[in-house]
Every structure is written in structure tokens, then in C-alpha cells.
Amino acid sequence: MTDLLDEVIEAHGGRRRWKRIGQLSAEVRSSGLLMRAKGKANRFREYGLTVSTEDQHAVFDPFRRDGSRGVYDGDAVRIESADGELVEEQDDPRAEFFGLSGLSKNLHWTDLDALYFAGYAMWNYLNTPFLFEQPGFEVSEGEPLEDGGATWRRLDVRFPPEIHAHCANQSFYFDEAGLLRRNDYHPEVVSRFAHAAHLCDEHREFGGIVFPTKRRVVPKGPTGHPLAGPSIVAIDIDFVETS
């Protein structure tokens, strides 16, 4: 535990309020180069998203087409009909991105590949920073970042192996108000050469919890600075309901 983590948790709504929440339901729009390059540009244009604040669980509705939904459960992903009938599933989806099976992923993702990536990513994003208090996380304060005359404090986070994420070691930057402004990581399932800066803006309060509603993921340059573009992933959150 660090003083910085205490401060950012308070800035995003506080532990007491968060512990009363078991589920988040959001209205989301997504775009960007990544899904277009993988042949899945239409899958996440506009959807309802429900995530658990405890288990690694997320539901995208609709997914693939109207009348079906995608379910992310950490070690498994599946597509269901509206009445819950199984359409397609994949156990251990992360393994599909590596070894011989991973060679084809450089050119094309299946629907289940895209669902796994979006599932763990969105579950992480909506649960940050409260997620870091779960067992197994290691956090420490790193060197701050100077950005446009402002100083953003840095939280270095090591994710436990059982938590699906872009990578084990990530850095999160918070402004003077304690709000998340940037997340740096290496998205392993995309490429071993990829290094991303995930920029967060337009924070809004829903049910007492503060979320960045505009997220843009851009490549990091050789010096570590975010490039002007293109947007690898663009996420806009229109509404969040807490329950």
C-alpha cells in the first residue's frame, strides 16, 4: 500500500462507496486502428457493457450481431444467444495468441480473440484504481512525469498471474487532483514490439465513482513520449450505472 494509492482511490470515489458496488453497467463506443487491422472493426462500435467489480467477468451486448452477446470470464470466453444458449466458446483464450497458433493472429483475430482482448481490457479499465487493492497486487510510487508544466505522480503496479491484463508490469499516472490521466503498458497479445500510452480524459462521476469517459491509446515513441497518432484504440463511455 502507498500513500498515492490511498489518494487516488479517494479521488475516484473512495473505498466505502466502491465496496457497496458489485456491478458496473456502461454504454460504450469504440473504434481505432487495432480492431480494423484485425478484421473486427464492427464488433465494438456501440454496445452495452456489464462488468463485475469482484470476479473477472464482463458481458458485451450485443456482440457479433443483434440477438447475441459475448461473455468474458478470465480463463474462458463464449458467445451466447439472447436466451443464454451457447453459440461458441474458447477455454484458455490467451494461449491462442502465442506459439504456432499465435502466428495467424498477426493478420487476423477471430471473434473470440477480439472478445478476450476487449473483455480483460475493459474489465481492468472500469475497475481501476480500486482493482489494485485486491490480493496479489504489488504497488509502489515511481518517478513522476512532467507533462505540459504539470506533474503527474506515478504508480507502478505489478499484476498477479491470475489477473488477465495487457502485461504484468504497468505504470499509471495521476494528476494533481488524483485522477488517472495515463496508463503505460506492453499489450502482449497484440505484439511483443508494441508499447502503448493509454491517455484518459473527460472524467465524470456516476453513482459517486469517477471514471475517465474519453480514452485514447497511442503508440509510445523511442523516448517514451506518446505519439500524436494514430489512435490504436479509442473508447468513449456515455454512461455508467453502479449497482
> What count of other Cβ atoms lies within 10 Å of the Cβ of residue 58?
25
Give the C-alpha separation, 159 to 135, whole Å: 10
What is the chain's pLDDT, residue by residue, as a tens digit (243 residues)? 689 999 999 999 999 999 999 999 999 999 999 999 999 989 999 999 999 999 999 999 999 999 999 999 999 999 999 999 999 999 999 999 999 888 899 889 999 999 999 999 999 999 999 999 999 999 999 999 987 888 999 999 999 999 999 999 999 999 999 999 999 999 999 998 899 999 999 999 999 999 999 999 999 988 889 998 899 999 999 999 999
Angle at 199 between CA 130 and CA 137, to 5 degrees: 30
Angle at 84 between CA 79 and CA 87, to 5 degrees: 35
Question: How is 46-90 classified by DSSP, letter by letter?
Answer: EEEEEEESSSS-EEEESBSBTTEEEEE-SSEEEEEETTS-EEEEE
Question: How is the chain classified by DSSP, letter by letter?
Answer: --HHHHHHHHHTT-HHHHHT--EEEEEEEEE-HHHHHTT-TTTTSEEEEEEESSSS-EEEESBSBTTEEEEE-SSEEEEEETTS-EEEEEESGGGGGSHHHHGGGGT---HHHHHHHHHHHHHHHHHTTGGGGSTT-EEEEEEEEEETTEEEEEEEEE--TTS--S-SEEEEEE-TTS-EEEEEE--TTT-TT--EEEEEEEEEEETTEEEEEEEEEEEB-TTSPBPS---SEEEEEEEEEE-
pTM value surpassing 0.95: yes
Residue environment code for 133-169, b if the CB has 16+ CB neighbours within 10 A, otherwise e = eeeeeebeeeeebeeeeeebbbbbbebeeebbbbbee
> What count of other Cβ atoms lies within 10 Å of the Cβ of residue 227?
11
Angle at 106 between CA 103 and CA 107, to 5 degrees: 110
